[in-house]
């Protein structure tokens, strides 16, 4: 039996569900937000497996090509190699941006879902704004993803292609929707003699919610610790090494010493890898922490047994901890650690899907009750 299957609980659903009714703004934003995060994470996992390392290898090859062209005194080949580096970096950059923006918009959607009771706009307007936000949240990352493939084809502008135009339009929709919600909150705050609002999400004190809140915050803390350690111990050393290796390449290329150039290139590649895993571990730890805290708020709407809600909360935290830890271990264990990190990412995705299904089940029961009431009155 789930938490909400008993008759007594059904009454509490009716009250709590007032803000989460069929196709309500809060429901659209909650389900749409988790959906965006899920797809964003899946894109990230696919990117990590099929694009990231291959792309890094191509950038390395092009940089090596530029350095060897410098050794042989071919300035035109240097320029061609750097053009290729630019193209590979653009390809990589647009994939990362797609991943990051989908997840960030998902977080924003969840935050906007939480504050819905304080948005002093009619439910119809809030729903339209929610749809606007979600459409924009999809348009921007899809547009960004297509930038590398569409380029300037059929574009009416000289420097900006259709994919960029589409992405910018999506971004404008997101900004407009967010501003409208902020306006609604400002209207609420200006209302004279406004009553103290109680909300089921903020009142929740379930153990699954507490696990996600405390665990999520611990992940954020861990990410900060790691960031502070990296800034103190490695950042300046890495910056100095970056310059020293490039100088070494340049001096060795002038002396036509290809062996030293190759050695410096190898070290430069290692340095780039080291920097990338530290930044990825820091960012993922904090972002997963924030995700855990956000989904912690929505636990009252997850229609699963208490024990399963706790299990999925722990699974999400375990995956969220494992991914940054194994990303860091890639430096020592290589691709094995990378593979485990991908599995951890998958664990977070599965836990999130389970919570999403729980929310859909909850809203499904609300819909059934609404239909039943309509039938009775009809």
Interacting residues with another protein (CB under 8 A): 66-67, 69-70, 72-75, 77-79, 82, 86, 107, 111, 114, 182, 202, 204-207, 209-210, 213-214, 217-218, 220-221, 224-225, 227-228, 231-232, 239, 242-243, 246-247, 250-251, 253-254, 286, 290, 293-294, 296-297, 306
* Cβ proximity to another protein, 93 vs 339, nearer residue: 93
* Cβ proximity to another protein, 246 vs 369, nearer residue: 246
| Residue 216 to residue 49: CA distance in whole angstroms | 26
Q: Shortest approach of another protein to residue 129 CB, angstroms?
A: 18
Residue 375 Cα to chain centre, angstroms:
42
Q: Shortest approach of another protein to residue 227 CB, angstroms?
A: 8
Q: Shortest approach of another protein to residue 33 CB, angstroms?
A: 13
Closest CA to 344 of 321, 313, 314: 321
* Cβ proximity to another protein, 45 vs 287, nearer residue: 287
Residue 65 · residue 81 · CB < 8 Å: yes
Residue 1 Cα to chain centre, angstroms:
33
* Cβ proximity to another protein, 152 vs 189, nearer residue: 189
User: How many CB atoms are closer than 10 A to CB 166?
Assistant: 18
* Cβ proximity to another protein, 122 vs 307, nearer residue: 307
* Cβ proximity to another protein, 86 vs 334, nearer residue: 86
* Cβ proximity to another protein, 111 vs 318, nearer residue: 111
Surface-to-core class of residue 287, CB atoms within 10 Å of its CB (0-12 exposed, 13-18 middle, 19+ buried)? buried
Q: DSSP letter at 161?
A: -
Q: Shortest approach of another protein to residue 119 CB, angstroms?
A: 14
Quote the strand ranges of 195-342, DSSP E: none
Query: Which residues does 116 contact at the CB level (< 8 Å), separation at least 6?
Result: 19, 24, 25, 26, 29, 126
**CA angle (63 as vertex; 62, 67 as ends), nearest 5:** 115
Q: How far is CA 90 from CA 49, 96, 151, in A?
A: 18, 10, 11
Residue 184 · residue 121 · CB < 8 Å: yes
| Residue 293 to residue 343: CA distance in whole angstroms | 22
* Cβ proximity to another protein, 177 vs 337, nearer residue: 177
Terminal CA-CA length for the chain? 30
Query: Which residues does 64 contact at the CB level (< 8 Å), separation at least 6?
Result: 262, 265
Q: DSSP letter at 231?
A: I
Q: Shortest approach of another protein to residue 336 CB, angstroms?
A: 30
Q: Shortest approach of another protein to residue 35 CB, angstroms?
A: 19
Q: Shortest approach of another protein to residue 109 CB, angstroms?
A: 13
Q: Shortest approach of another protein to residue 375 CB, angstroms?
A: 33
């Amino acid at each position: 039996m789930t938490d909400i299957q008993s008759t007594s609980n059904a009454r509490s659903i009716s009250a709590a569900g007032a803000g989460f009714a069929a196709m309500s703004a809060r429901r659209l934003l909650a389900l749409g937000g988790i959906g965006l995060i899920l797809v964003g994470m899946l894109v990230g996992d696919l990117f990590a497996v099929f694009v990231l390392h291959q792309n890094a290898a191509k950038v390395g090859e092009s940089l090596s090509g530029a350095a060897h062209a410098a050794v042989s005194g071919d300035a035109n080949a240097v320029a061609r190699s750097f053009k290729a580096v630019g193209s590979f970096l653009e390809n990589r950059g647009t994939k990362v941006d797609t991943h990051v923006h989908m997840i960030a918009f998902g977080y924003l959607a969840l935050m906007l879902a939480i504050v819905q009771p304080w948005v002093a706009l009619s439910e119809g307007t809030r729903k339209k704004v929610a749809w606007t936000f979600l459409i924009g949240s999809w348009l921007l990352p899809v547009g960004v993803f297509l930038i590398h493939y569409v380029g300037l084809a059929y574009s009416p502008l000289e420097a900006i292609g259709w994919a960029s135009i589409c992405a910018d339009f999506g971004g404008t929709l997101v900004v407009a929707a967010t501003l409208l919600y902020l306006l609604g909150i400002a209207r609420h705050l200006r209302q004279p003699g406004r009553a103290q609002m109680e909300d089921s999400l903020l009142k929740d004190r379930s153990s699954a919610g507490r696990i996600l809140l405390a665990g999520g915050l611990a992940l954020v803390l861990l990410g900060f610790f790691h960031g502070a350690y990296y800034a103190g111990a490695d950042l300046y050393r890495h910056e100095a090494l970056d310059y020293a290796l490039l100088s070494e390449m340049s001096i060795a290329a002038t002396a036509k010493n290809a062996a030293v150039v190759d050695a410096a290139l190898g070290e430069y590649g290692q340095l780039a890898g080291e920097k990338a895993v530290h930044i990825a571990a820091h960012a993922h730890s904090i972002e997963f922490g924030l995700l855990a805290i956000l989904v912690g708020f929505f636990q009252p709407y997850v229609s699963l047994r208490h024990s399963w809600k706790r299990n999925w909360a722990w699974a999400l935290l375990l995956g969220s901890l494992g991914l940054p830890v194994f990303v860091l271990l890639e430096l020592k264990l290589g691709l094995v650690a990378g593979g485990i990190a991908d599995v951890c990412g998958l664990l977070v995705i599965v836990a999130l899907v389970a919570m999403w299904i729980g929310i859909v089940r909850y809203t499904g029961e609300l819909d059934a009750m609404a239909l039943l009431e309509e039938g009775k009155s009809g």
